[in-house]
Amino acid sequence: MDKPKLPLQDDTLILVVDDNEMNRDLLVRRLERRGFITDTADGGKQALSKISANTYDMVLLDINMADLDGISVLTKVRETQDTTQLPIIMVSARDASESIAEAINGGANDYITKPIDFPVAIARINTQLEVYNAHKSLRESEERYALAFRGANDGLWDWNIKDGSVYYSDRWKEMLGLDINAKFDTPDDWFNLVHPEELEKLKQAIETHLLGQSDALEQEYRALHSDGTFRWVLTRGVASRGADGQALRISGSQTDVTRSKVYDPITSIPNKFLFMDRLEWLLDKDRRKRLGRYAVFLIHIDRLEELRETLGPVASEEVVVTLAHRLMDSLRTEDSLSRMFEAEATTISRHDNADFAVLAEGCRDETTAPKLAERLRQVINKPIQIDGKNMVFTASIGIVAGAMDEGLEAPDVIAHASSALVRAERKGPGNFELFDKHMQQRAISRLKMETDLRRAVADDELALHYQPIVKLTDGSIAGCEALARWRHPKRGNIPPAEFIPLAEESGLIDVIGDWVLEEACTQHKRWEEHSEKPIDLSVNFSLLQMQRDGVEDRVMDILNRTQMDPNRLKIEITESIFMEDMERINGILTNLNNEGIGIAIDDFGTGYSSLQYLSKLPITHLKIDRSFVGDVSSDVAAQAIVQSTLLMAQSLGIQVVAEGIETIDQEALLKVLKAEYGQGYHFWRPISGDEFAGLIKG
C-alpha cells in the first residue's frame, strides 16, 4: 500500500495550550514559521472548550497549568476522542517523568520537554501527524465506502477468517427478508440460503480468492428470500492479508441484481427466468396441496419475425414494446379483469423475440382460460401506429389450463403449452388452442415415431416412389417426381406428409434429404441407360434443407458421385420460401440454377404467392396445386386462377405442371387452357423405380 501522503502543513491546525504567555508565543511563532496554522488556549479550561468547539489536527498540551492541569484535560478529551482522532503531545518539564508516564498511560500520543529542542519537537509532531493523517484518510475512505454502499443499496459483510464469525449489515439481511435482530453470524447462515446449483461455485470462488489466486471475489447466485422465492444477488469481496499473505478477513458487498437478471431489457417486463421461477413456485409439491386452478398462455405474435425485414429493427422493437405494455396493462390495471375471470394473480413475461407468456393463478374454473385467451387476443389485435400507419397484429396462443394438484412440473406445463401453440399456429394466424390429454398422447406417439424414424434411416425402411410427369400435348412421359415412402415394420406405410415434418423438427431432415437425392439420382442413372430420350427428375426439398449451410455443394457432390446430369434435375420447393431471407435464398437458388438445375415452385397458389418474387428468383417451373386442378372443371374461380397462372408463367418463361389430375375432364380442360405438363392419378400413381423403368423402355 502507498504511504499516506502528508497533507500540506498549512492545512494542519494545531492548538497550543499553555498558561504561560511567553512559552505559548514562542511555540506558536516557530510552528507558524514551519507553515502550521495555530490556535492558542491560555489554560486547561479554555483548552477544553476550544477542543469541543473546533476540529484540531493536534494539541500541544502543557502539563502544569494553574486552572486545570494537562493530565485532567487529556483525560477529559480522551473520553470522546482517541489517539487516532486527535493526537495530543504533552509538554512538560524535563524532570517530570512521573507525570509523563501518567500522561502516556492516560492516552497522550507523545511528549516533548521544556526547554523545547525545536527540531526534535518538529520531528515528533510530524511523526504523530503522519499516523494521524493515515488514520484520517482511512476513516474518510471507510465513511465514503459506507456511504456509497448505502447509496447503492448494497449490503455489507465482513468475515473474520480467524474466529469464523461473519458480520452481515442490516441491509444485507433486509435484502433477503431476514429479521435483522435474529442471530445470523456464521458462513453457514449465508451458505444455507444459496441456491444448491450455485453453492459450490460460490464456495470455490471464495476459496480461490482466500488462497490469493484471484484479485477479488465476484459471484452471482440465487439466494433464498424469506418469502420463498429466490433473488439473484451479486457478491463482491476482497481479502485483507497479513504480512505472510494469509487472509485475515474477507469483506465486501451484496447487491440485488434480480432485476437485471429476470427482466427483459427491451420491454422491462419479466423474462422467462422469472416466469419459470414463479411457475415452479406455484406448482411446488409442498404448496400444491392447496387446491386451485391455474392457466399458462404462450403467446406468439404472428409474422413479426417476417415483418422485421419490411419494418426494420427499430419499428419491430416498438411493436414488441407496445404489445408488452398493453398486455401488462390489461392484466395489471384492470382489476375488473380478475373479477371478470376470477383469476387471483397474473404474471406476464417475454420469452423470446415475438413470444410472451402469461401465468394466471387462482382461476375460477375451466372457462377462465379460454375467456382470458380471448381477452389477450383482443388486446393484441388493437391497431398499432407505426410510421403514421395503423398496423394490426395477431397472435397464436397455446394454453394449458390445469389444477395445482395434477402433479405436473413447470417444464411439463411449458412443453404442453408449446405443443398447443404449435397446433394453434398450424390452424393459421390469430388462433388459440388448449392443450388436452389427447394432444399429450399424440405428443408421446410422435416422440416414439421420431425414435423409429432415426432407426428407419439406418434400417433401410425408407424408399422412393416415382410419379410420372406427362407432356399433355402428346401424352409422352417427360419425367417423374421422386416421393419418399416409409415402410414402417409395425404401422405399415407412413405418408411423407407425416414423417417429413417430423424429420424437420428432429433434425433428421438433412440425412433423409441427402439419402433421397442420392437414391433418386442413382435410380435416374439406371433409367437413362435404357431410355432413348432424356428424363427429367424432380426431387422435393423442404425449406430447412434449402437453408442448410453449403446446400449447393452437397447437391453438386451427390450429382458428381452419381454421374447425374444437373440439367435433368429439378428441385421442388414450396412458396413458404418467399417468407425467408430473400437475398440468401436468391443466392442459393441462383447458384443451383447456374449449374443447370431447374427450380420448381410446388403447390403453387396455396401459400404466400408473390408474383414479384417469381420474376426476381431463378424459377424455371411452377406446379399448380391440385386443389385448383381438382376444381378446374367445376369451379369458375379455380379455372380463372389456373388460366391466369398459365398466362403469367408463359410471359415469364416458366414451365407449368398441373398437379393432381384425376379425371379425363380435368385433363381435357387443362389442354384447352394450354397447360404443358400434367401429373396425377389419372395418368399414374407413384410407382416403383423398376416399374418406371418399364414405362420408359417401351
**Binding Mg ion by CB under 5 A: which of 552, 603, 667, 676?**
603
What cell numbers appear for 182 in the block? 435474529
Q: Which helix (H) or strand (E) holds 90?
A: strand 88-93
Q: Which is nearer to ligand C2E, 484 or 558 (CB)?
A: 484
Quote the CA–CA distance of 377 and 113 in Å, as a whole number.
Answer: 92
Q: Which is nearer to ligand C2E, 412 or 580 (CB)?
A: 580
Q: Which of residues 628-667 bind Mg ion (CB under 5 A)?
A: 659
Nearest distance from C-beta of residue 608 to ligand C2E, angstroms: 16
Nearest distance from C-beta of residue 498 to ligand C2E, angstroms: 9
**Binding Mg ion by CB under 5 A: which of 452, 602, 667, 676?**
602
Nearest distance from C-beta of residue 587 to ligand C2E, angstroms: 21
Quote the CA–CA distance of 517 and 184 in Å, as a whole number.
Answer: 69
Judged by beta carbon distances under 5 to 8 A according to partner kind, the member of Mg ion, ligand C2E, none in contact with residue 680 is ligand C2E
Nearest distance from C-beta of residue 603 to ligand C2E, angstroms: 5
Q: Which is nearer to ligand C2E, 290 or 685 (CB)?
A: 685
Judged by beta carbon distances under 5 to 8 A according to partner kind, the member of ligand C2E, Mg ion, none in contact with residue 495 is ligand C2E
Quote the CA–CA distance of 324 and 348 in Å, as a whole number.
Answer: 8
Q: Which is nearer to Mg ion, 252 or 513 (CB)?
A: 513
Nearest distance from C-beta of residue 537 to Mg ion, angstroms: 12
Q: Which residues pair with 479 in a beta bridge?
A: 469, 536
Q: Which is nearer to ligand C2E, 154 or 536 (CB)?
A: 536
Judged by beta carbon distances under 5 to 8 A according to partner kind, the member of Mg ion, ligand C2E, none in contact with residue 496 is ligand C2E
Judged by beta carbon distances under 5 to 8 A according to partner kind, the member of Mg ion, ligand C2E, none in contact with residue 70 is none
Q: Which of residues 342-381 bind Mg ion (CB under 5 A)?
A: none
SS3 181: coil
Quote the CA–CA distance of 62 and 91 in Å, as a whole number.
Answer: 5
Per-residue CA distances from 662 to 265, 318, 674, 680 (Å) = 57, 50, 17, 6
Quote the CA–CA distance of 250 and 184 in Å, as a whole number.
Answer: 17
Q: Which is nearer to Mg ion, 361 or 602 (CB)?
A: 602
Nearest distance from C-beta of residue 365 to Mg ion, angstroms: 46
Judged by beta carbon distances under 5 to 8 A according to partner kind, the member of ligand C2E, Mg ion, none in contact with residue 662 is ligand C2E
Nearest distance from C-beta of residue 502 to Mg ion, angstroms: 18
Judged by beta carbon distances under 5 to 8 A according to partner kind, the member of ligand C2E, Mg ion, none in contact with residue 681 is ligand C2E
Q: Which of 438, 447, 397, 395 is nearest to 420 (CA)?
A: 397
Nearest distance from C-beta of residue 571 to ligand C2E, angstroms: 10
Quote the CA–CA distance of 505 and 169 in Å, as a whole number.
Answer: 53
Q: Which is nearer to Mg ion, 62 or 659 (CB)?
A: 659
**471-480: burial string, b at 16+ Cβ within 10 Å, e else:** ebeeeebbbb
Quote the CA–CA distance of 282 and 346 in Å, as a whole number.
Answer: 12
Quote the CA–CA distance of 83 and 86 in Å, as a whole number.
Answer: 6
Contacts with ligand C2E by CB under 6 A lie at 467, 483-484, 495-497, 500, 516, 540-542, 572, 602-603, 626, 659-662, 679-681, 686
Our CA dihedral for 256, 260, 261, 265, rounded to 10 degrees, sits at: 170
Judged by beta carbon distances under 5 to 8 A according to partner kind, the member of ligand C2E, Mg ion, none in contact with residue 145 is none
Nearest distance from C-beta of residue 684 to ligand C2E, angstroms: 9
Judged by beta carbon distances under 5 to 8 A according to partner kind, the member of Mg ion, ligand C2E, none in contact with residue 484 is ligand C2E
**Binding Mg ion by CB under 5 A: which of 256, 572, 575, 667?**
572
Q: What angle do CA 320, 422, 441 make, to 5 degrees?
A: 145
Judged by beta carbon distances under 5 to 8 A according to partner kind, the member of ligand C2E, Mg ion, none in contact with residue 361 is none
Give me the residue label for grid cell 396493462: 329
Judged by beta carbon distances under 5 to 8 A according to partner kind, the member of Mg ion, ligand C2E, none in contact with residue 686 is ligand C2E
CB atoms within 10 A of CB 641: 20
Quote the CA–CA distance of 170 and 201 in Å, as a whole number.
Answer: 25
Nearest distance from C-beta of residue 463 to Mg ion, angstroms: 17
At residue 683, φ and ψ (nearest 5 deg) are -95, -70
Q: What is the CA radius of gyration of the chain?
A: 43
Q: Which is nearer to ligand C2E, 264 or 452 (CB)?
A: 452
Q: Report the length, in residues, of the chain.
A: 698
Q: Which is nearer to ligand C2E, 346 or 574 (CB)?
A: 574
Nearest distance from C-beta of residue 540 to Mg ion, angstroms: 4
Judged by beta carbon distances under 5 to 8 A according to partner kind, the member of ligand C2E, Mg ion, none in contact with residue 314 is none
Q: Which of 543, 540, 534 is nearest to 566 (CA)?
A: 534
Judged by beta carbon distances under 5 to 8 A according to partner kind, the member of Mg ion, ligand C2E, none in contact with residue 667 is none
Q: What's 459's DSSP letter? A: T
Judged by beta carbon distances under 5 to 8 A according to partner kind, the member of ligand C2E, Mg ion, none in contact with residue 428 is none
Any alpha helices (H) in 459-568, and if so which ranges?
A: 496-506, 509-530, 543-547, 551-562
DSSP secondary structure, 301-335, as one string: ETTHHHHHHHH-HHHHHHHHHHHHHHHHHHHHT-H
Q: Which is nearer to ligand C2E, 433 or 603 (CB)?
A: 603
Nearest distance from C-beta of residue 600 to ligand C2E, angstroms: 9
Q: Which is nearer to ligand C2E, 496 or 618 (CB)?
A: 496
Quote the CA–CA distance of 401 and 638 in Å, as a whole number.
Answer: 42
Q: Which is nearer to ligand C2E, 452 or 575 (CB)?
A: 575
Judged by beta carbon distances under 5 to 8 A according to partner kind, the member of ligand C2E, Mg ion, none in contact with residue 483 is ligand C2E
Q: Which is nearer to Mg ion, 480 or 696 (CB)?
A: 480
Quote the CA–CA distance of 369 and 391 in Å, as a whole number.
Answer: 27
Cβ contact 346:359 at 8 Å: yes
Binding segment for Mg ion (CB under 5 A), chosen from 108-116, 321-329, 459-467, 572-580, is: 572-580
**Which residues have C-beta within 8 Å of that of residue 344, sequence separation ≥ 6?**
338, 361, 362
Quote the CA–CA distance of 357 and 350 in Å, as a whole number.
Answer: 6
Chain CA centroid to CA 295, Å = 24
Q: Which of residues 488-547 bind Mg ion (CB under 5 A)?
A: 540
Judged by beta carbon distances under 5 to 8 A according to partner kind, the member of Mg ion, ligand C2E, none in contact with residue 620 is none
Nearest distance from C-beta of residue 554 to ligand C2E, angstroms: 14
Q: Which of 318, 222, 253, 2 is nearest to 134 (CA)?
A: 2
SS3 16: strand
Binding segment for Mg ion (CB under 5 A), chosen from 445-453, 463-471, 568-576, 675-683, is: 568-576
Nearest distance from C-beta of residue 563 to ligand C2E, angstroms: 21
**430-457: burial string, b at 16+ Cβ within 10 Å, e else:** bbbbbbeeebeeebeebeebbebbeebb
Q: Which is nearer to Mg ion, 46 or 467 (CB)?
A: 467
Q: What's 66's DSSP letter? A: S
Q: Which is nearer to Mg ion, 519 or 659 (CB)?
A: 659
Contacts to Mg ion by CB under 5 A: 540, 572, 602-603, 659
